[in-house]
Structure 1
Amino acid sequence: MKLWAGRFHKEPDQKTNDFNSSISFDSRMVREDIEGSIAHASMLGACGVIDAEESEKIRAELKAILGEIEAGTLAIDPESEDIHTFVEGELTRRLGPAGKRLHTARSRNDQVAVDIKLYLKKQCRSLHAQIKELILVLCRKALESKDAVMPGYTHMQRAQPITFGHHLLAYAEMFLRDLSRLEDTEKRMDVCPLGSGALAGTTYPLNREMTASLLGFGGVTNNSLDGVSDRDFCMELAADIAIAMVHLSRFSEEIILWCSWEFKFIELDDAFSTGSSIMPQKKNPDIAELVRGKSGRAIGDLTTLLTMMKGLPLAYNKDMQEDKEAIFDAVDTLRMCLTAFIPMVDTMKVLRQNMRKAAAKGFINATDCADYLVGKGIPFRDAYKITGEIVAYCIENNLTLETLPIEKYKEFDALFDSGIFEAISLENCVNGRKVTGGPAPQNVEAQANRIIKELGAAQ
């Protein structure tokens, strides 16, 4: 039986009923729906809105229903309109008129709002834990590679020497911001909408603060219209997820490049690679490619939510049923990607020698050569020009700055002496960049340990 039966004289068309139904996706909130109902029943009994004995019966039966669902002995009826209808119908079937009193001073509008908030608060914490795990993996890998020299890039051209540990910690910083965004989102959704009714509250003497406290909320919503029509928290979480997926996608792109023969900076573990059905030599980075592809899916979920909400008048509209599939998919996508991505990164092998060889061939110590001349009193722009001419000569003669003879250096400028080779040593170039945020190994070690300590303290 529909919760809204009474006004209508005939049953809805079956196809209309199927189109209107949300049970196929909102059934995942069954625990939250029942938890919200238990808290509501407790408050109704405490406030004298319903009999205290009936309140106790309702709560006991709701707990029994949840236990049976989670044990697999009670199946959720796919013909129910939504999870609220199923739970209330099952409760009424068992308790009769007492079960019908549960919905006193409540609408499905504030009920679904509290359900999805309860559900997404849990998902925020779950995703937070996974991203934290990824950051710790990156920090451990960074410590192992704090002195592994590699070329840093701009425009996908070799630019300046850094270390692989420094590169990994750049992603750790991105994911730390993702943690912060999730924390902020959870704070803003930590207000309970129950008691807002359909849109205008209720005349019953409710204790909304009691309900919020029982459900673990930090407070209550301050406006009944906003309480039932707000989906900012869905859009904000979807934005958090989309940004995190963009970070994963950028990282995936580099992993795909790094494990190609053209780079060969890393090698993925066999457990996180696939082969070809026709080319026996292939070892494909399919996980990274899938993560890169699925980022578009998360961006699409955010676009769905923003577009769905942008033209809605207050208060609740049926359009808002579309919030769940989009936000659930976004949550599921990020979780699935992290589950595969974390062990892939943790087990990848770093090929230090290949990184070092690429760094040596890229003239990425040219800036340090120019800085050496600046230290001799030459203006930077003049030093820049001289160094550019040296690089051009090296390219023409298949040399590097490290293999160019000192006699040839002196032909470009008499101020060069043997100290140039120490100045342009890739290791020295990296070790000298001790400025805060720089790639010196001691900086990488300090940064990784600081992050590990902060995340450990946050547990």
Structure 2
Amino acid sequence: MSDMDAENSEREGGAKLWGGRFTSGGAGTNALMESFNASIRFDRRMWREDIQGSKAYATAISKVGVITPDECEQIQAGLDRVAADWEQDRFDILQSDEDIHTANERKLREYIGQVALKLHTGRSRNDQVSTDMRLWVRQRVAELRGYLVEFIGVCRKRAEEEIDVLMPGYTHLQRAQVVRWSHWVLSFAWPMKRYVEQLDEIAARVNVMSLGSGAIAGNAFGVDREALAEDLGFNGVTENSMDATGDRDFVAEFLMWSSLVMARLSKWAEDLLLFSSKEFNFVAIADQYSTGSSLMPQKKNADSLELIRGKAGRVFGHSCGFLMTLKGLPSTYCKDLQEDKEMLFDGMDTMHAIVQIASGVLATLTVDSEKMSSALSPDMLATDLAYYLVRKGVPFRDAHSLSGSAVALAEKSAIALSSLTVEQLKTISEVFEDDVRSVWNYTSSTEQYSSTGGTSRRAVQEQVDKLAAWLTSPAPR
């Protein structure tokens, strides 16, 4: 078939991959249905993966004699030309290009003629799209992993450099105990490490090839799937063709994982939004991650953090929405699964952007250690006062009560807890002695928490060192 014949056939609707069953003399597919059914506007971004899979499949069917070595060479060369069209932004998408598979095959046919029609032998768009998506996700997950590791590296660096900065720690958004700023920073590094490890597990499940499963029953031409998987860099093949064509667990799992990461980053963003407000002034967000007000010239808004917090809901929505798509489906492939791509693509794009923005915000913000220090108050040492009594033999429950009485006495006297005299404290318990004055030291307060995971200088440095070792360890393959 000449290029012109192929083009005319395309315009008439005769080149659809599924067109043989349908009459061509009637009105054809409803125009709105054509648009409703098509996915080319969003799945075109998988053009590279589709060509990669097709080239490997051409080699596989050549090995079993479905096509000759010369035909395989023609197909490979033709697919290279199709790839060049995409690379150079000159791929002409036609209205009848239903999806990326149809578009690429149509263009291949224009370049090499009838030989292109042999490429799809034994292959279905069901196993083809699943393979394309796995190839696409595999690459993007690897990139995302790098961004997460970068965020952890920024956390480690700041924690080590600012290890002596003290700040109030909060529970219920109320001042609780004295902690190191580094301890707060690292409280987000550790969950991110867990998320990287979870992502590695997801990546391993993604990296299983479904190509060769056909539409439902498998491949009828003896294609060596294990060799094909090795050619495409997969670690293995799917074990059941019915499962393979309808499986989108890897999409659902990625979206659920993304929701978990976003919930954590939303919490992180909320903390920094508070810390950067004038009421706190603990940190200043760099100008490059802030915006201004169209009305109030003095305003500097941390919109980067607000968008991180806001886009968490977007990612949650994709996860919930896709699970609702999956819940009512019968087994194997149904067209409902076309809904996976827009949610997956947007979720992946959102995660890529947000993790990079988060790293940038954290790397460039300025810490005001004096503001943090001035926010410390003696009442935050009430637990230390109870521990003082414990170390003198008082049971903790009694010590807790006695320290609470001291707090009440200070409030009644309108003075700071640390301003209570030994005589006043003795009215609460005779156990108090002159050495109680040693309690009123913020640095000493943090230093008592020296067990693993604590906020003492040594314990925090231990966290930094462990993360440094992990960051330099090789990533799993």
Residue 308 of structure 2 is aligned to residue 325 of structure 1: no
Deviates more, 1:135-144 or 1:80-89: 135-144
2:12 paired residue number: none
Q: How far, CA to CA, are the matches of 1:78 and 1:398 in structure 2?
A: 78
- Distance in 2 (CA, whole Å) between partners of 1:418 and 1:216 is 71
CA change 1:382–1:59 in 2 (3 A) is: same
Is the CA contact 1:272–1:285 (under 8 Å) kept in the aligned structure 2?
yes
- When normalised by structure 2's length, the TM-score is 0.93
Match of 2:141 in 1: 124
Q: Is 1:8 aligned to residue 22 of structure 2?
A: yes
Q: Secondary structure at the match of 1:359?
A: coil
Are 2:179 and 1:162 equivalent residues in the alignment? yes
Match of 1:109 in 2: 126
The answer to whether 1:25 aligns with 2:39 is no
- Helix, strand or coil at the partner of 1:158: strand
Shift of 1:47: 1.7
Determine whether 1:419 maps to 2:460.
Answer: no
Instruction: State the match for 1:278 in structure 2.
Output: 295
Moved more, 109-118 or 380-389: 380-389
Which whole-Å CA distance do the structure 1 matches of 2:322 and 2:399 have between them?
54
Mapped partners of 1:368, 1:78: distance in 2: 73
- Of the structure 1 ranges 68-77 and 429-438, higher mean CA displacement relative to structure 2 is found in 68-77
User: Is residue 194 of structure 2 the alignment partner of residue 177 of structure 1?
Assistant: yes
Contact 2:276 2:282 (8 Å CA) reproduced = yes
Counterpart amino acid of 2:121? T
Aligned to 1:340: 357
Q: Which amino acid aligns with 1:430?
A: T
Conserved in 1, the CA contact under 8 Å of 2:178 and 2:445?
yes
Provide the aligned C-alpha RMSD in A.
1.4
1:243-288 Cα shifts (integer Å, max 9, x gaps): 1111110101101111112222111112211222222222211110
- For these two proteins, the number of residue pairs brought into alignment is 458
Which of 80, 83, 92 is residue 66 of structure 1 equivalent to? 83
Greater RCO, 1 or 2 (C-alpha within 8 Å, sep 6+): 1
Residues 395 and 75 of structure 1, relative CA distance in 2, 3 Å threshold: farther
With structure 1 as the length reference, what TM-score do the two structures score?
0.97
Aligned amino acid, residue 211 of structure 1: L
The one-letter code sitting in structure 2 at the alignment partner of 1:228 is T
Aligned to 2:327: 310
Paired residue type of 1:111: Q
What's the offset of the Cα at 1:78? 5.5
- Tell which deviates more after alignment, 373-382 or 215-224: 373-382
Q: What secondary structure sits across from 1:222 in the alignment? A: coil
Deviation at 1:385, TM superposition (A): 1.5
Q: How many angstroms apart in 2 are the aligned matches of 1:75 and 1:177?
A: 44
Structure 1 unmatched ranges of 5 or more: none
Find the aligned partners of 1:397 and 1:347 in 2 and give their Cα distance: 44
What are the Cα deviations for residues 129-186 of structure 1, in whole angstroms up to 9, with x where unaligned? Answer: 1111111111111112222211222211111221110111110011111101110001
1:306-361 deviation line (CA, Å, top 9, x unaligned): 11111111110000000000111110111121222211111111111222222225
What residue identity is the alignment partner of 1:3?
L
Q: Which moved more, 1:64-73 or 1:134-143?
A: 64-73
Q: Is the 8 A contact 1:269 1:344 kept in 2?
A: yes
Of 437, 440, 445, the residue aligned with 1:429 is: 445
User: Is 2:382 aligned against 1:366?
Assistant: yes
CA distance in structure 1 between the partners assigned to 2:255 and 2:44 by the alignment: 20
Distance 1:378 1:440 in 2: 24
Alignment-derived partner of residue 11 in structure 2? none
Cα offset, 1:79, TM superposition: 4.4
SS in 1 for 2:218: coil
**Local SS of the residue matching 1:316:** coil
1:387 aligns with 2:403: yes
User: How far did 1:88 drift?
Assistant: 0.4
Q: Deviations over 1:205-240 (max 9, x none)?
A: 211111111110011100000110000000001111
**Equivalent position amino acid for 1:125 in 2:** A
Whether 1:233 aligns to 2:250 is yes
Which residue among 449, 452, 457 is the counterpart of 2:465? 449
Partner of 1:401: 417
Distance in 2 of aligned mates of 1:102 and 1:306: 34
- Residue 290 of structure 1 corresponds to which residue in structure 2? 307
Pairwise CA distance, 1:73: 3.4
Q: Residue in 2 aligned with 1:80? A: 97
1:196 paired with 2:213, answer yes
Q: Distance in 2 between matches of 1:135 and 1:344?
A: 13
Letter paired with 2:156: C
- Give the conservation status (yes or no) of the 8 Å contact 2:64–2:221: no
Is 1:402–1:425's contact at 8 Å kept on the other side of the alignment? no
2:153 and 2:21 mapped to 1: Cα distance?
58
Relative to structure 1, the CA distance from residue 235 to residue 161 in structure 2 (aligned partners, 3 Å threshold; closer, same or farther) is same
SS where residue 3 of structure 1 aligns?
Answer: coil
Q: CA deviation at 1:397?
A: 3.3
Name the amino acid aligned to 1:382.
D
CA distance in 2, matches of 1:74, 1:322: 25
Question: What is the alpha-carbon distance in structure 2 between the residues aligned to residue 375 and residue 309 of structure 1?
Answer: 59
Matched-pair contact (CA < 8 Å) for 2:289–2:302: yes
Contact 1:432 1:440 in 2 (8 A): yes
